Amino acid sequence: MEDRIIRTEYSEIMQKSFIDYAMSVIVARALPDIRDGLKPVQRRTLYDMYELGIRYDRPYRKSARIVGDTMGKYHPHGDSSIYECLVVMTQDFKKAVPLVDGHGNFGNIEGDGAAAMRYTEARLSKLTQENFLEDLDKNVIDFLPNFDETEKEPSVLPVKIPNFLINGSEGIAVGMATSTPPHNLAEVIDAEIAYIKDDSLSTRDLLKYIKGPDFPTGGIVINKDELYDIYNTGSGKIRIRGKVETEKGRNGHINLVITEIPYTMIGMGIGKFMADVAELAEKKVTNDIVDISNQSSKEGIRIVIELKKDTNVENFTNLLYKKTKLEDTFGVNMLAIDNGRPETLSLKEIMRACADFQFEITTRKYQTLLKKEQEKKEIQEGLIKACNVIDLVIEILRGSKDRPMAKNCLVNGVTDGINFKSRESKAMAAQLLFTEAQADAILEMRLYKLIGLELNALIKEHEQTVANIYKYEDILESHDSMSLVIQTELLKIKKEYQRERRTVIDNRENAVYEEKPVEEADVAFIMDRFGYAKTIDVSTYEKNKETIEAEFKYSFIMKNTGKVCFFTNTGNLHTVKAMDLPQARMRDKGVPIDNISNFDTSKESIVLASSQSDLNLYRILFTTRQAMMKIVDGGEFDVSKRTVAATKLADDDEVVNVAVLHNQKTVVLRSNNGYFLRFPIDTIPEKKKIAVGVRGMRLSKNDFIKDVFYLDEMEEKCIDMSGKTLNLGHLKVTSRDTKGTKVRI
């Protein structure tokens, strides 16, 4: 037993296992093959549909049947990935040329998912059947065993067009990802033909044919001058914008109509875009929006934004480009499996790989066709020769005892045991010498083949076979002839399936939005104890001041151009612009403060909320749980960052109180064990925000500061202690950093 134990480093096993897993994901799942532009799941699904006979000119079949058959035979990775692949191959808003003809609900551009596979039906599209799968019976590609070695599956489909470019691809592997935009079929075919004619063409030369990506959703590519670098290196960023038009609206308003969207907005992006536009209005970034509606239908995209009469449409459109996904970036990384390895390919390298593949499958196709024609020629010549000596053949057949004797005579000229009418017949029979295939054809020939017309047809068929052999040999022996065959095939495909370009390729200036200056005004900030905050009109605040102070934890008047500062128990300062808060009515709920700031409700609690302008005018007093205290100039908290450290804390310490100092003269510290200490505020030193501070009260072991109170010079302030009242103004003013007095009532 001990001899069977393999001792090795755990790290080596992990490294090998991870590399094996990574290569499996890269090669066998996530990345397309440059030759057919398909991932394994796509290739297997299309091949399974072909095997099931689900052709474009036959009835649709249930998607569940296709998915189940594919999973059982070729792709044992779960039905959801197969069905999702099938759905994507039907969607004309994702694929420039859909590979599957779907029947039923296969989702839409707005992000609604497809119906369950038991409801939808599908079949191969005409293009897929004729140009992806047509030559599988001609030995043009290799077949491999499937996962359990009970079936054979193609290693690659004999695709006749550069599908990798035409339909693009997206996939995330381990440590790498592919993202190739779709292109116009006619342009890609023109570029491929040009490359086949002259393989010295550079990427710049090829870009004369391929203008750039052609997204199914249209849109405008605005960085035309950067496309050369993208296609020359195989990676980069394409900037795309939606197409915008203007119309006359109701009551003299202007309607801004979005008729095409960036490719990256497919799915939930339209809903997100509309929410972003609505947010621009809510946050008062623009006051030009009257209404927004999505009027999209099967006819196309139509998102209508109703604007006010005096709106600067160009400026508003630039706002959409800057603040929403109406202008977005498509990251290009043309990564594919080339010769078994993942490679990022330039446009020329893609054309080279596709052209080489076309020559390979065309060579194998015509080798197969030539072999079949040569076999046919052999049999035809045998039949013609037999018809010329039919009487002798019949004499051999009638004189033979069995089929092997007759065949042996026809092939080898052995006449022993055969009864002939004359010696001349026997001598002639010994000289026939047909081939094995010819002899079998003669023995199986039917008598009607001896009719004159049938014989003439056989001769004509033989002449055609000879012509085909000459043609196929010429194609195989001459590079130019084969090149011409491939070009002719590509032109035929282009003629049948070409369509107009949808995406405009241009150079556009960066969107520049001129913000209207905000008119400064007073607003009232209020926040309840649950952390929901908002701003309201000052007049509403003044009318309901008592109610607000009773129901809300924080409330104060500030400028609408200012910031609200939140000090937390962890020593952080979070700032929020007043413009980011919703301006609402008093009874509206508001927005959770953690939604618009870096405040973390699971780790922090707010100790003080104040306006930035108030902090700038006064000093701030910090008190921690361990009785550390300091005064900081409020101007130190006038920061541009959303979150900064407001104070330095020792280990296991936290802020328990932050106060803005106005007229307070003394401070009262109350510990958890019931000790009170009152001392002058001016004995606390002013320090920087990065300092820890000084000790305000001496605490016994396990004691800590529970409350902090502030008193003016002659102020009387009472607190409740176990149902009895304690007047803090009666406490004796002593020195800082003493233990204080234990109060018993």
Q: Report whether pLDDT(364) > 90.
A: yes
Residues 6+ apart with CB under 8 A from 127: 97, 99, 493, 497
Domain 522-742 is found in CATH 2.120.10.90: yes
Q: Report whether pLDDT(277) > 60.
A: yes
Residues 6+ apart with CB under 8 A from 651: none
pLDDT in tens, 581-608: 888 888 888 889 888 888 888 889 999 9
DSSP 121: E
Q: For 551-578, give the DSSP string.
A: H-SEEEEEETTSEEEEEETTSEEEEEEG
Beta-bridge partners for 609: 566
Question: Do residues 260 and 217 lie in contact, with contact meaning Cβ atoms separated by under 8 Å?
Answer: yes
Crossing angle between the packed helical segments 269-282 and 313-323, to the nearest 10 degrees: 120
Crossing angle between the packed helical segments 436-444 and 347-388, to the nearest 10 degrees: 60
Q: Report whether pLDDT(235) > 90.
A: yes
Q: Report whether pLDDT(283) > 80.
A: no
Over range 372-394, report the average pLDDT. 84
Q: How many CA atoms lie within 13 A of 718 on its CB side?
A: 6
CATH superfamily of the domain spanning 359-496: Topoisomerase, domain 3 (1.10.268.10)
Over range 310-322, report the average pLDDT. 90
Q: Which of 707, 702, 701 is nearest to 743 (CA)?
A: 707
What is the residue extent of each domain of the chain?
Answer: 243-325, 359-496, 522-742
Question: What own/partner pairs with CB < 8 Å and gap ≥ 24 does 194-197 have?
Answer: 195/348, 195/351, 195/352, 195/355, 196/355, 196/358, 196/483, 196/486, 196/487, 197/483, 197/487
Predicted local confidence at residue 17, as pLDDT: 66
Q: Report whether pLDDT(328) > 50.
A: yes
Q: For 455-477, give the DSSP string.
A: HHHHHHHHHHHHHHHHHHHHHHH
**243-325 is classed in which CATH architecture?**
2-Layer Sandwich (3.30)
- Model confidence at 564, pLDDT cuts 50, 70, 90, reads very high
Question: Do residues 518 and 286 lie in contact, with contact meaning Cβ atoms separated by under 8 Å?
Answer: no
Structure tokens at 387: 């018809």
Strand 220-221 relative to strand 504-505, pairing: parallel
- Model confidence at 424, pLDDT cuts 50, 70, 90, reads confident
Predicted local confidence at residue 265, as pLDDT: 92
Residues 6+ apart with CB under 8 A from 491: 189, 193
The 3-class SS string of 172-201 reads ECCCCEEEECCCCHHHHHHHHHHHHHCCCC
Q: Which amino acid is at 303?
A: I
Pairwise CA distance, residues 122 & 482, whole Å: 36
Q: Which of 497, 501, 86 is nearest to 260 (CA)?
A: 501
Pairwise CA distance, residues 636 & 130, whole Å: 73
Q: Which of 584, 576, 579, 591 is nearest to 536 (CA)?
A: 584
Least confident interval from 69-73, 336-340, 363-367? 336-340
Structure tokens at 23: 């290569």
Structure tokens at 640: 């541009």
pLDDT in tens, 11-62: 777 776 666 665 655 555 678 999 999 999 999 999 999 999 999 999 999 9
Percentages helix, strand, coil for the chain (3-state, rounded to 5) are: 40, 25, 40
Q: Which amino acid is at 442?
A: I
pLDDT in tens, 656-714: 999 999 888 999 999 999 899 999 999 999 999 889 899 999 999 889 999 999 998 77
Structure tokens at 735: 């020195």
Strand 327-333 relative to strand 235-241, pairing: antiparallel
Query: What's the full length of the chain, in residues?
Result: 745
- Number of Cβ atoms within 10 Å of the Cβ of 409: 25
Whole-number mean pLDDT of the chain?
89
State what percent of residues in the chain have pLDDT above 90. Answer: 56
pLDDT in tens, 192-204: 999 999 999 999 9
pLDDT in tens, 473-486: 999 999 999 999 99
- Model confidence at 1, pLDDT cuts 50, 70, 90, reads very low
Tokens 């009551």 belong to which residue? 251
Is residue 432 classed as helix, strand or coil in its secondary structure? coil
Phi, psi torsion values for 377, nearest 5 degrees: -60, -45
Over range 396-403, report the average pLDDT. 82
Same fold, 243-325 and 359-496: no
Crossing angle between the packed helical segments 79-88 and 63-73, to the nearest 10 degrees: 130
Least confident interval from 70-74, 318-322, 514-518, 592-596? 514-518
Is residue 12 classed as helix, strand or coil in its secondary structure? helix
- Model confidence at 453, pLDDT cuts 50, 70, 90, reads low
Q: Which of 167-181, 228-242, 405-419 has the highest mean pLDDT?
A: 228-242
Predicted local confidence at residue 29, as pLDDT: 66
Residues forming the active site: 119
Over range 321-327, report the average pLDDT. 92
- Mark out the alpha helices in 308-400 (DSSP H runs): 313-323, 347-388, 390-399
Q: How many CA atoms lie within 13 A of 582 on its CB side?
A: 17
DSSP 27: I
